[in-house]
Amino acid sequence: MAFRKFLPLFDRVLVQRLVAETVTKGGIMLPEKAQGKVLQATVVAVGPGTTDKSGDLQPVSVKVGEMVLLPEYGGTKVILEDKDYFLFRDGDILGKYVE
C-alpha cells in the first residue's frame, strides 16, 4: 500500500479521514453541503516521535490502525498515490476510540 512507503518525521501522524455519510439513517440521500465534515480518521503511519529535554525519544501516542478524533481545523493535506491523507502533530489529535 502507498502509505507503507511514506514515513512521517518526528511526532507527525498520517491519517485517512472516514468517508462522509451520504445517506441518513432513514435512507434519505444527503447533498454534499449537508454532509458534516468528517473528524474521525484512521491512523495509517506514525513518526518515530520527538526527543525530550532529557534526550529520550518520546513515541507518539497513537498507533497505526487506531481510529482518532481530529480537531476541526489544522493538519496538512498530503496526496499520496492520488489519495488524500492528512498529517497532524501527535499533540493536536484530540483523542482516540478504544474498545
Query: Which residues here bind a copy of itself, judged by CB under 8 A?
Result: 5-10, 12, 14, 45, 47-48, 51-56, 58, 61-62, 69, 71-72, 76, 78, 87, 90-91, 93-99
State the nearest-atom distance from the C-beta of 32 to a copy of itself, in Å: 20
Query: Nearest distance from residue 78's CB to a copy of itself, in Å?
Result: 7
Cβ contact 98:62 at 8 Å? no
Query: Which residue, 41 or 47, has its beta carbon nearer to a copy of itself?
Result: 47
Q: What is the DSSP string of 25-79?
A: TTSPBPPGGGSPPP-EEEEEEE---EE-TTS-EE--S--TT-EEE--SS--EEEE
